[in-house]
């Protein structure tokens, strides 16, 4: 149960993003809805096609940008101007490119929170759109920008403990991006052993997130198992789709495109296992990808990258297999074992579900965020 803010404060909170879609799971359905249910009036200013109310949050739309440069300039300025018009008690930023807007809000006496979704300097080092020779310098500048914002902002929210350690301890909390259990409940879910041999992947489709290895792995799964890889997400960059369709294994792959939360729940209710094969890049090794916990919450065994922090989750709860994410043959062997042994796979999925119910879910994270807001909002 969320803390009843309305009994203590009359508050208005504005979330700002120029990068994320208005229906972003963390921003809208987790953080925004949690605060709205606690009694706050919550506004989300974001690129969207219309103003509307969703999950108790009023979405104030700004025109989506046509390219990255426009997003970082014109869209960011539009978001800032809309934020000023809202006249809120507190502003919650979700993008590094909005840090200048946050600093301007601080100059006007506003209270500001910065939400660090990613380890920005590490993430910058693998940005495909940046020429490789510029990445180290850009990563350093990004770190300086975040440090400047952190010095002036009232609070910092880190998505993982590793991210949080980069910011001042006295004003920072960690709010992990765990799933909302109720979102993944699908009433018409077939019994596990009656499901088709569907291998699910939910999230961005990119080179460093293991797209190539997933498709090549399903090509190596014995044809007798009739396995099918189902991808739900967007290609990043969009041109990657053409390369993916040329890989062996695409004939066993189904591409759904971006899916709503309902679509994700439907897919996971029909699957036999989930994949999360992030490459061993600095920004991924310490990450906590929400897809991993969504698979667990849906009762699916997982085939995941063998990272030290993930061993604590997958091995401790005996809910899947850890593999070298760069080795399609190792991935295929893990998939094959799960499909050939449905009783073992179902037991793994059940243990993963128990772990999600007991620990890896949004309820506690939402309560933590609400309490953090209470400490920052004016009385």
| pLDDT tens sequence across 143-179 | 899 999 999 999 999 999 999 999 999 999 999 999 9
How far is the C-alpha of 36 from the C-alpha of 112, rounded, in Å? 18
* Residue indicated by tokens 């809202």: 86
Confidence band for 378, pLDDT divided at 50, 70 and 90:
low
Q: Of 1-15, 87-101, 157-171, where does mean pLDDT reach its minimum? A: 1-15
Residue 107 predicted with pLDDT over 80: yes
How far is the C-alpha of 368 from the C-alpha of 177, rounded, in Å? 12
Q: Return the ∠ at Cα 337 (arms to 333 and 338), rounded to 5°.
A: 120
How far is the C-alpha of 45 from the C-alpha of 159, rounded, in Å? 21
pLDDT tens, position by position, 180-213:
999 888 888 899 989 999 999 999 999 999 999 9
> For residue 1, what pLDDT is reported?
43
Pick from 97, 55, 53: which is nearest to 75 by CA?
97
**For the structural domain made of 181-358, what CATH number should be given?**
3.40.50.2000
Terminal-residue alpha carbon distance, the chain: 22
> For residue 31, what pLDDT is reported?
96
Residue 223 predicted with pLDDT over 50: yes
> For residue 9, what pLDDT is reported?
47
Averaged over 261-277, what is the pLDDT? 96
Looking at 3.40.50.920, 3.30.2020.30, 3.30.300.30, 3.40.50.2000, the CATH number of the domain 5-178+361-376 comes to: 3.40.50.2000
Count of C-beta atoms within a 10 Å radius of residue 164: 18
Residue 277 predicted with pLDDT over 70: yes
> For residue 119, what pLDDT is reported?
84
Residue 5 predicted with pLDDT over 50: no
> For residue 379, what pLDDT is reported?
62
* Domain(s) of CATH 3.40.50.2000: residues in the chain: 5-178+361-376, 181-358
Residue 45 and residue 15 in contact, taking contact as beta carbons nearer than 8 Å: yes
The proportion of the chain whose per-residue pLDDT surpasses 90, expressed as a percent, equals 82
Instruction: Output the CA torsion sign for 23, 263, 275, 301.
Output: positive
- Helix, strand or coil, per DSSP, at residue 88: coil
Rg (CA), the chain: 21
Residue 355 predicted with pLDDT over 70: yes
Count of C-beta atoms within a 10 Å radius of residue 52: 12
CA distances from 77 to 73, 166, 356 (A): 6, 27, 40
DSSP secondary structure code for residue 180 in this structure: -
The mean pLDDT of the chain is 92
> For residue 185, what pLDDT is reported?
80
Confidence band for 10, pLDDT divided at 50, 70 and 90:
low
How far is the C-alpha of 241 from the C-alpha of 231, rounded, in Å? 12
Residue 45 and residue 62 in contact, taking contact as beta carbons nearer than 8 Å: yes
The proportion of the chain whose per-residue pLDDT surpasses 70, expressed as a percent, equals 97
Alpha helices by DSSP H, the chain: 33-37, 68-70, 76-86, 99-107, 120-124, 135-152, 161-164, 211-220, 240-245, 261-270, 282-285, 290-297, 308-317, 328-340, 342-358, 362-376
- Helix, strand or coil, per DSSP, at residue 354: helix
DSSP secondary structure code for residue 205 in this structure: B
> For residue 7, what pLDDT is reported?
42
Give the β-pairing of 52-54 and 57-62: antiparallel
Greatest mean pLDDT range, 1-10, 125-134, 180-189, 357-366:
357-366
Pick from 301, 300, 275: which is nearest to 289 by CA?
275
Residue 8 predicted with pLDDT over 70: no
Averaged over 310-320, what is the pLDDT? 96
């Amino acid at each position: 149960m969320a803390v009843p803010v309305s009994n203590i404060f009359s508050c208005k909170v504005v979330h700002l993003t120029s990068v994320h879609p208005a229906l972003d799971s963390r921003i809208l359905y987790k953080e925004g809805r949690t605060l709205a249910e606690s009694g706050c009036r919550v506004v989300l200013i974001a690129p969207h096609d219309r103003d509307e109310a969703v999950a108790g949050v009023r979405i104030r739309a700004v025109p989506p940008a046509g390219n990255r440069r426009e997003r970082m300039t014109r869209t960011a300025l539009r978001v800032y101007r809309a934020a000023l018009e809202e006249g809120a008690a507190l502003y919650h930023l979700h993008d590094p490119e909005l840090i200048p807007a946050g600093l301007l809000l601080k100059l006007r006496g506003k209270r500001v929170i910065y939400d660090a979704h990613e380890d920005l300097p590490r993430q910058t080092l693998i940005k495909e759109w940046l020429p490789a020779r510029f990445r180290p310098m850009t990563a350093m500048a990004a770190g300086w920008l975040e440090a400047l914002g952190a010095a002036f902002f009232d609070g910092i929210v880190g998505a993982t403990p590793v991210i949080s350690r980069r910011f001042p301890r006295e004003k920072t909390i960690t709010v992990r991006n765990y799933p909302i259990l109720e979102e993944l409940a699908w009433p018409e879910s077939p019994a596990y052993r009656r499901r088709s041999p569907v291998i699910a992947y939910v999230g961005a489709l990119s080179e460093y997130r293991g797209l190539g290895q997933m498709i090549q792995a399903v090509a190596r799964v014995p044809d007798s198992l009739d396995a099918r890889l189902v991808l739900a997400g967007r290609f990043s960059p969009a041109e990657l789709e053409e390369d993916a369709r040329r890989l062996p294994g695409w004939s066993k792959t189904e591409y759904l495109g971006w899916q709503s939360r309902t679509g994700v729940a439907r897919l996971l209710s029909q699957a036999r296992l989930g994949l999360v094969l992030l490459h061993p890049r600095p920004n991924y090794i310490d990450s906590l990808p929400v897809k991993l916990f969504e698979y667990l919450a849906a009762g699916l065994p997982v085939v995941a990258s063998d990272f030290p922090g993930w061993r604590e989750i997958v091995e401790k709860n005996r809910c899947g297999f850890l593999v070298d994410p760069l080795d399609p043959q190792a991935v295929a062997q893990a998939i094959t074992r799960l499909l050939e042994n449905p009783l073992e796979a179902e037991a793994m999925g059940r243990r993963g579900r128990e772990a999600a119910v007991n620990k890896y879910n949004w309820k506690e994270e939402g309560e933590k965020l609400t309490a953090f807001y209470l400490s920052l909002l004016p009385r």
